[in-house]
């Protein structure tokens, strides 16, 4: 890449970010958001607070970390903006796919919001971790994450003092991962995201109320179900699995 290409890329990058600037009320938060994103887009082999800070010309990760743990910015509004941007740029009503899945983030300690010893598909075993439920969009023109929710185990939602200490609002109640997934799909549908169908693994496809919610709205879906799943035939009879 030549210098002129870099200059063009940099100009277009900041022009793109300008469309989201209103979600960051402070100049410093906007500046750190730009540095953070440039680091994520870099070719760094390992991306953490220290390496991203070095890429941004900082002596340590403190200023970048303040973006995540100190500055106030409109996270849900930014999520909505990103979802709209994805729909407008790579949306495809016929071939677009909404992909529902969760992933674990390994943690040490017990103070991170939602952290608990629970199964993590990332690790393939029970670990001390946080679980996030995500909705991704994929189509012929590209792919992107468009929504997310943090899963809070009942041990958290039943301990309001612990929730408050972690910055979790009192109006956040317990919800299963499939319930959170349905909420993500509902937001995408209500926002008019163009897509042809939904896909998910067994953790979501095996939940009848989620499948029924999609069927009632004529949402095409291809989801995994457990091999013990009972199937209702067209003549309203039931077909037990043979394997």
Structural domains for the chain: 1-73 (no CATH), 75-243 (3.30.420)
Cα 71 from Cα 26, distance rounded (Å): 8
Cα 82 from Cα 184, distance rounded (Å): 14
How far is the first Cα of the chain from the last one, in angstroms, to the nearest whole number?
56
Cα 216 from Cα 21, distance rounded (Å): 39
CB atoms within 10 A of CB 52: 22
The pLDDT of residue 241 is 62
Average pLDDT per consecutive 10 residues, the chain (243 residues; last block may be shorter): 74 93 94 92 89 89 88 94 97 98 94 95 93 98 98 96 94 97 98 98 95 95 92 61 58
CB atoms within 10 A of CB 15: 9
The pLDDT of residue 164 is 95
């Amino acid at each position: 890449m030549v210098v002129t290409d870099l200059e063009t890329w940099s100009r277009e990058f900041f022009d793109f970010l300008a469309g989201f600037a209103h979600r960051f009320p402070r100049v410093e938060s906007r500046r750190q958001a730009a540095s953070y994103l440039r680091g994520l887009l870099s070719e760094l082999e390992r991306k953490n607070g220290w390496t991203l800070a070095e890429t941004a010309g900082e002596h340590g990760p403190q200023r970048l970390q303040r973006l995540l743990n100190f500055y106030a910015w409109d996270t849900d509004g930014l999520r909505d903006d990103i979802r709209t941007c994805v729909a407008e740029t790579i949306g495809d009503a016929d071939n677009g796919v909404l992909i529902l899945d969760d992933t674990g983030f390994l943690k040490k300690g017990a103070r991170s919001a939602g952290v608990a010893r629970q199964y993590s598909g990332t690790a393939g075993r029970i670990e001390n971790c946080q679980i996030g439920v995500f909705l991704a969009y994929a189509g012929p023109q590209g792919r992107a994450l468009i929504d997310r929710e943090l899963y809070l185990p009942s041990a958290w939602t039943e301990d309001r003092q612990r929730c408050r200490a972690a910055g979790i609002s009192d109006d956040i109640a317990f919800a299963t991962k499939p319930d959170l997934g349905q909420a993500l799909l509902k937001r995408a549908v209500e926002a008019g995201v163009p897509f042809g169908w939904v896909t998910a693994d067994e953790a979501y496809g095996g939940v009848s109320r989620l499948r029924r919610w999609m069927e009632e709205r004529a949402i095409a879906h291809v989801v995994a179900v457990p091999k013990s799943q009972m199937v209702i035939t067209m003549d309203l009879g039931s077909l037990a699995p043979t394997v």
